[in-house]
Amino acid sequence: MVKKKAVKRTTRRAPKESKSEGVDTSTGPQLLLGNMPPVKDLIYHLETIAGWQAKAKTAKGRVTDAKKKAREVGVDLNAIAQAMGFERMDPLELATQLRQLQVLMAERGLPVQMSLYEPKYGTVDEQAAAEGAAAGKAGRTPDGARWPEGAPGFVAYMRAWNDEQGVLAKKLGKGDTDS
């Protein structure tokens, strides 16, 4: 047997008196429609919404114009959309996705190959430490890192990961992590 939801019954409240510019808005249509906000609130929100809709139309038109100009000079709009998506991604997830894409492109023998260059790190240890710190700060486990035990950069990765895990634990109130 299916139970029916209880319907909450409300009582009608008397309309509030409004004294905006000497016009009594508590009678007339309000009595027919039940509880209504003051007329000045209705008008304010109508104007606000209409204003934002007009701005949205203008913005949409400007975006359309910008895309048209980009196409005219040979810009690939899919590349723009991907780059904007990359900006919203976690840096480690982005690097992993691009590395895997790089391997898949090579394995499938695609005519275009890509090379990843991460110029902000000078050495393998600096790269590993940066990735370890980011993973530790994000609360990830070191499993699945591209710096497995014995690989160059493993020690730097784990040291940075441990340091950030300690900072994270203190922030979360876990106390000392050296025990």
Can you tell me the mean pLDDT for 89-93?
Answer: 80
Residue 179 has pLDDT above 50, yes or no: no
Here the tokens at position 175 are: 């106390």
DSSP letter for each residue of the chain: -PPPPPPPP-PPPPPPP--GGG---SSTHHHHH-S---HHHHHHHHHHHHHHHHHHHHHHHHHHHHHHHHHHTT--HHHHHHHHHHHHS-HHHHHHHHHHHHHHHHHTT-S-------TT--SHHHHHHHHHHHHHHTT--STT-SS-TTSTTHHHHHHHHHHHHHHHHHHTT------
Quick one: pLDDT at residue 117?
60
Quick one: pLDDT at residue 13?
53
Can you tell me the mean pLDDT for 145-166?
Answer: 85
Quick one: pLDDT at residue 178?
53
Can you tell me the mean pLDDT for 125-142?
Answer: 85
What mean pLDDT is reported for the chain? 77
% of the chain surpassing 70 pLDDT: 73
Residue 19 has pLDDT above 60, yes or no: no
Residue 163 has pLDDT above 90, yes or no: yes
Q: Which one has a higher pLDDT value, 146 or 176?
A: 146
**Contact call for residues 131 and 106 (beta carbons, < 8 A):** no
Q: How confident is the model at residue 114 (pLDDT cuts 50, 70, 90)?
A: confident
Domain ranges of the chain: 30-72, 122-171
